[in-house]
Structure 1
Amino acid sequence: MIAATEVDESSLRYRGWRVVLACFLMAFFMFGFGLYGQGVYLAELQRAHGWPGSLVSSASTFSFLLSAVLVIFTDDLLVRIGLRALILCGLAALGASTALLGLMQLPWQLYLAYALMSVGWTGMGSVVIATVLNAWFERRRGLALSLAFNGATCGGIILVPVLLALSTSIGFRSAMLAATIVMVALVLPVVVVFTGWPAAASLHAAGPVSSGGNAARHSRRALLAVASFWTMVLPIAIALLAQMGFIIHQVTFLEPLIGRASAGLAITIMAAMAVIGRLTLGLFVDRLDPRLACAASMMSQAAALLVLLHSQSPIVLLLCCAVYGFSIGNMITFPPLIIQREIGSAAFAAAMGLGTSISGIVSAFGPGIVGLVRSASGDYTMAFAMCVALDVIAAGIVLWRPGKRAEVAAS
């Protein structure tokens, strides 16, 4: 019995939906600033300071890798300082990072800003969002996750153009400071008022949080021996590697075929379809087998890439990007659903942290690998064919069910 079963999760009066709003705003700013906004920083910092692109890019890589390490310890931080304090620390770190990006003058400050951004990911990223929503929802968990994680895509669609427009009109420094103030003004009160564990805090995903720190660490070690954990983490990591590789190289591939304007339109369509895909999945995923749905998403991306490689029609290419985008956001929605069903509540935060770390490290190499294959072969045919093969392999692995549900003890 969990807290969520004692109330009507479909009712708008259920407090869990206000928690979803808080998580949506967290994802909006965290992914908007921490992921999609990095392209803006690359251009603006080079323009403002004359720094080489390699310096800013290496700081981005440093940030992603540091985030992948720090997120492993999310469950320990939930135990030691609590949910609301962790989110507020993440908000403070992200705010300091974005403000410093606007104010910095020296290269070492760039690495400090990106290190603070990594701390922000730990307090406001997908692991915390999935863990708190797992505590509030059972029957509507998939819909809640889909709605909250749509904030990530909306951050890319809305925040990045706003930053670019503000940078043009009032300058990059003022744009970053203004956006930081807006973020704090919106997120701080919502987090303080709405976030927290359900009343029965010892139940559901809040279970390990109410135990001791040693229990949480024991859960994380025990996960490495659970086959169902690996058949979830490995395919997600492989699929995200292919996904990151395609997304970063998408414009370079499409521009010679359909022009810069249409290539930009392709990105907009893909991002919009990611929102639609999350919403559509959220309506049905609680009645679906998450492994089957995950494999279907991976195969749809493989099919879209395969058609993309064999067509030069602008309409077909845009349709392929739309189909590909439909499943982009769902790759971070499936893991918490599989973890809850097959690993259990006691080790949920530990499994999310460790799984997100592994997939984050692996996927970080996606753009580089695609770029190397493209350079070696002379075009993107072999590179994207590799991405197709990776998606097919990932779909096969995620369909493997090692055995019955494996509860990982937290004590």
Structure 2
Amino acid sequence: MIAATRIDESSLHYRGWRVVLACFLMAFFMFGFGLYGQGVYLAELQRAHGWPGTLVSAASTFSFLLSSVLVIFTDDLLERIGLRSLILSGLTALGASTVLLALMQTPWQLYLAYALMSVGWTGMGTVVIATVLNSWFERRRGLALSLAFNGATCGGIILVPLLLSLTGSIGFRSAMLAATLAMMVLLLPVVVTFIGWPARMSPASDGGRTAAGAAARGHSRKALLANAAFWTMVLPIAMALLAQMGFIIHQVTFLEPLIGRSAAGLAVTIMAAMAVVGRLSLGLFVDRLDPRLACAASMTSQAAALFVLLQSTNPTVLLACCAVYGFSIGNMITFPPLIIQREIGSTAFAAAMGLGTSISGIVSAFGPGIVGVVRSLTGNYTTAFALCVVLDLIATGIVLWRPGKSAA
């Protein structure tokens, strides 16, 4: 169910754009604290408590896997407690998590903090953002998603350096508490004021608040697992994200011996900046494109960038490859909702997004580990990144397969 099609979605007065702003801020803080900030936590908690890196890393893995399980039930939570309550619950959980990270003294508190962060992902992550924007936009859906998900990249570009700067001046504990307070002050009124469903739209994805509605949602998930169109979207995205996560985590380690630490850091900055450019560029045209073809083009460009990266030691070429690779990074979470809406429809949208995000999240979580193991076995990154190239090319072939539209 979409907002009335007679409404001019291009008008800045359309309420949906205020919802986009709220979603941008949600993505900014959720990805800033919940993904990009984890490198800061790893270093600072080791320094403050002397905990081994494996302990903190294991907590991160635990959080990502728990998030991938909880997100399956997003459509049920939307039905039972409502959109705004779910988001506010996620915001509260994320705030509690970051406060606990600042104040913790024992390892069990670390795992509690990361568990709370998983609840935050459920209430403020990609599935909720995609679901609410899908309800507000039809003709400009791709642009709305691209703008909102740019908040994720901006969270890494802005929030993480800010945390590092504040940590250097006032300490990690005060920096986390100050950043948490800023999040609440900025985001809470925006969510309360702007977030909601379009008029006359039921917040349910496909059923009421009854047992029959729950049974229908369960049936919807079962139908999705038997839907070829669903799998030809989920599997290639999962494979591409596995390769992407593997490269991103190991990028600095690979580049530093070739071009030095400062240039390797510049490569990360360039890649992140190009992710913003890529999302904005795609958003301007994606509503007129076939999302499967656009997705295949993005995967192919990443495979080509990695292939050239492995052939050169020239700093300019390496930086250019990172720029090309970064151009498509953010779009990998923009394509699934566009494909789902076009081929599966609104009825099972939240269920499909939740299930798909869960599967791709679990699969992609192994990316850094697989690249690390292959690198250890071979002694270099050539085979590991070549494997990423192959995964991208296989993913390209799968996403281009069109088994036919089928409603779940």
Q: Which residue of 2 aligns with 1:218?
A: 219
1:101 Cα deviation after fit:
0.1
Whether 2:326 is the aligned partner of 1:303: answer no
**Would you say the 8 A contact 2:2–2:201 is kept in 1?**
no
- Contact kept in structure 1, 2:205 and 2:351, CA below 8 Å: no
Kindly indicate whether residue 272 of structure 2 is the aligned counterpart of residue 274 of structure 1: no
Structure 1 CA distance, aligned partners of 2:397 and 2:264? Answer: 31
Change (3 A) 1:132 1:206: farther
- Quote the residue 2:384 is aligned against: 383
C-alpha displacement of 1:388: 0.3
1:4 to partner: Cα distance:
3.9
- 1:407 maps to a residue whose letter is A
Task: Provide the C-alpha distance between the structure 2 equivalents of 1:148 and 1:338, rounded to a whole number of angstroms.
Answer: 17
1:325 match: 326
Per the alignment, residue 284 of structure 2 pairs with 283
Task: Report the TM-score when normalising by structure 1.
Answer: 0.97
Q: What TM-score, normalized by structure 2, do the two folds share? A: 0.98
| 1:84 matched to 2:87 | no
Report percent identity of matched pairs. 83
Indicate how the Cα distance of structure 1 residues 154 and 210 shifts in structure 2: closer, same or farther if over 3 A, else same: farther
CA positional deviation for 1:3: 1.9
Q: CA separation in 2, counterparts of 1:209 and 1:170?
A: 50
Q: Distance in 2 between matches of 1:347 and 1:186?
A: 32
Deviation of 1:37 (Å): 0.1
Distance 2:60 2:4 in 1: 39
Alignment of 1:141-180 (within 5 A): 141-180=141-180
Structure 1 position 216, deviation (Å): 2.0
Q: Are 1:181 and 2:181 matched, yes or no?
A: yes
The question of whether the paired residues in 1 share the 8 Å contact of 2:252 and 2:264 is answered with: yes
User: Cα offset for 1:407?
Assistant: 1.4
- Alpha-carbon distance in 2 for matches of 1:4, 1:275: 30
Residue 295 of structure 2 aligns with which residue? 294
2 CA distance for matches of 1:71 and 1:2? 23
Structure 1 position 213, deviation (Å):
2.8
- Residue 41 of structure 1 is matched in structure 2 by 41
CA shift for structure 1 position 209: 6.3
User: Residues 51-85 of structure 1: CA distance to partner in whole angstroms, max 9, x if unpaired?
Assistant: 00000000000000000000000000001000000
Cα distance in 1 for partners of 2:316, 2:43 equals: 30
- Show structure 2 runs of 5+ residues with no match: none
**Contact 1:27/1:125, CA 8 A, preserved across alignment:** yes
- 2:315 aligned with 1:314: yes
* Paired position in structure 2 for 1:366: 367
Alignment-derived partner of residue 229 in structure 1: 230
Shift of 1:19: 0.2
Task: State the alpha-carbon separation in 1 of the partners of residues 99 and 382 from structure 2.
Answer: 41
d(CA) in 1 for partners of 2:342, 2:255: 40
Shift of 1:206: 5.4
Residue matched to 2:19: 19
| Counterpart in the other structure of 2:248 | 247
Q: Distance in 1 between matches of 2:260 and 2:4?
A: 51
* 2:257 pairs with 1:256: yes
Q: How many residues align?
A: 405
Deviation string, structure 1 residues 169-212 (Cα, Å, up to 9, x no partner): 0000000000000001111100001001000213xx85426563
* Residue 16 of structure 1, CA deviation: 0.2
* Whole-angstrom distance in 2 between the partners of 1:3 and 1:70: 28
Kindly indicate whether residue 358 of structure 2 is the aligned counterpart of residue 357 of structure 1: yes
Q: Distance in 2 between matches of 1:207 and 1:233?
A: 20
Name the amino acid aligned to 2:47.
R
Contact 1:80 1:213 in 2 (8 A): no
- Please tell me whether the aligned partners of residues 79 and 204 of structure 2 are also in contact (alpha carbons under 8 angstroms): no
Q: What one-letter code is carried by the residue in structure 2 that aligns with 1:221?
A: K
Distance in 2 between residues matched to 1:368 and 1:68, nearest whole Å: 17
* Offset, 1:221: 1.5
Query: Larger deviation: 193-202 or 105-114?
Result: 193-202
- The one-character-per-residue Cα deviations of 1:315-341 (angstroms, maximum 9, x if unpaired) are 000000000000000000000000000
- Asked if 2 retains the 8 angstrom alpha-carbon contact of 1:146 and 1:278, the reply is yes
The aligned amino acid for 1:127 is V
Q: Counterparts in 2 of 1:67-78, with a 5 A limit?
A: 67-78=67-78
Backbone CA RMSD of aligned residues: 1.0
Distance 1:286 1:49 in 2: 50
Are the aligned partners of 1:270 and 1:326 in contact in 2 as well (CA < 8 Å)?
A: yes
Deviations 1:237-266 (A, max 9, x none): 000000000000000000000000000000
Letter in 1 for 2:327: F
Cα deviation code 1:119-138 (max 9, x no counterpart): 00000000000000000000
Instruction: Confirm or deny: 8 A CA contact 1:75 1:209 kept in the other structure.
Output: no
- Alpha-carbon contact 1:79-1:210 (below 8 Å) kept: yes
| Counterpart-to-counterpart distance in 2, 1:277 and 1:17 | 20
Q: Which residue of 2 aligns with 1:6?
A: 6
What secondary structure does 1:100 align onto? helix
**Counterparts of 1:91 and 1:51, CA distance in 2:** 28
Other structure's SS at 1:3 match: coil
Distance 1:85 1:406 in 2: 32
Residue in structure 1 matched with residue 206 of structure 2 by the alignment: 208
**Where does 1:101-180 land on structure 2 (aligned, <5 Å)?**
101-180=101-180
| Secondary structure in structure 1 of the residue aligned to 2:5 | helix
1:304–1:324 CA contact under 8 A, matched in 2 = yes
CA distance in 1, matches of 2:205, 2:233: 22
Q: Distance in 2 between matches of 1:209 and 1:6?
A: 26
Residue pair 2:79, 2:205 contacting (<8 A) in 1 also: no
Tell me, in whole angstroms, the C-alpha distance in 2 between the residues paired with 1:209 and 1:182.
Answer: 37
SS in 2 for 1:6: coil
CA contact (8 A) 1:76 1:217 kept: no
Gaps of 5+ in 1: none
